[in-house]
Structure 1
Amino acid sequence: MPSLRIMPKVMTLTDAAAARVSALIAQKPGVKALKIGVKKGGCAGMEYTMTWAEEIGKFDEIIEEKGAVVLIDPAAMMYLLGTEMDYKTDKLSSQFVFNNPNQKSACGCGESVNLEPATPPGFAPAEA
């Protein structure tokens, strides 16, 4: 029997993030999850993306936590490995916040970030 390989969790959600995701999905008929990804853009190089998913893709990573369902786009997995998703509210705004150990910097406006792919234990870093 082959040994099981334990995969690290791509992302975790705080109680606040899970509650907000669940509440938003409940308001959207036909939506199964919130899908998180990254794309090139902004002054720091990359931006987080969030879209509603009516279907779960074959290679999407499924995060079911505290009643919320979040999908991770396959192309974003190595950039999001180890990330904690939070939801914060202050006097002027409410927003999802990503506490990402792969983030090396962010732009001044907070709209874009500089991300490097994670290198899990046992993997060699990418050659430049």
Structure 2
Amino acid sequence: MTTVDAPPPVTVSDRAAKRIARILAREPEGAMLRVAVNGGGCSGFQYAFDIVREREPDDLAIEKDGVTVLIDPVSLDFMRGAEIDFADELIGAAFRVNNPNATASCGCGTSFSV
């Protein structure tokens, strides 16, 4: 019998991991990035990014290149299959969530609907 590892429910791009590492390097030891989905924004839901020191028991923890990204179970339902990326463009630098569950998104890149 062959066991196939399932793909992770959310991924973090190399660019995002590098930027997260730069941000967390200025924070106290053990800091992690929490990504959440909250109600609001111009499309119904919006992503929130926060630096935290505590991990909840039911959080999904994504480890990449020495950084940890946390996602709570309710947010994970909205983000399953998404990639957290970082874009550095002429109009600004920001984290982007490439979410296959989003049916529409706002020009700001942090608001979406399902």
- Range of TM-score over shorter length: 0.7 to 0.9
Please state whether the residue corresponding to 1:103 is helix, strand or coil.
Answer: coil
CA distance in 2: counterparts of 1:86 and 1:48, whole angstroms: 13
Instruction: Give the TM-score of the pair, scaled to structure 1.
Output: 0.78
Please state whether the residue corresponding to 1:17 is helix, strand or coil.
Answer: helix
CA distance in 2: counterparts of 1:33 and 1:109, whole angstroms: 24
| Structure of higher CA gyration radius | 1
Tell me by how many angstroms 1:12 deviates.
0.8
Alignment-derived partner of residue 28 in structure 2: 29
Q: Quick check: which one's strand share is greater? A: 2
| 2:68 is the counterpart of 1:84 | no
Tell me by how many angstroms 1:9 deviates.
1.4
Instruction: Give the TM-score of the pair, scaled to structure 2.
Output: 0.87
Alignment-derived partner of residue 42 in structure 2: 43
Count of residues paired in the alignment = 112
Q: Give yes or no for contact 1:88–1:97 (8 Å, CA) kept in 2.
A: yes
Aligned CA distance change for structure 1 residues 80 and 29 (closer, same or farther; 3 Å): same
TM superposition outliers: structure 1 runs of 4+ over 4 Å = none
Over the matched positions of the two proteins, sequence identity in percent amounts to: 34
CA distance in 1: counterparts of 2:110 and 2:60, whole angstroms: 24
Q: CA RMSD in A?
A: 1.9
Cα distance per residue 1:64-115 (max 9 Å; x no partner): 0122210012210111111111111112300001111111101344441003
Unaligned runs of 5+ in 2: none
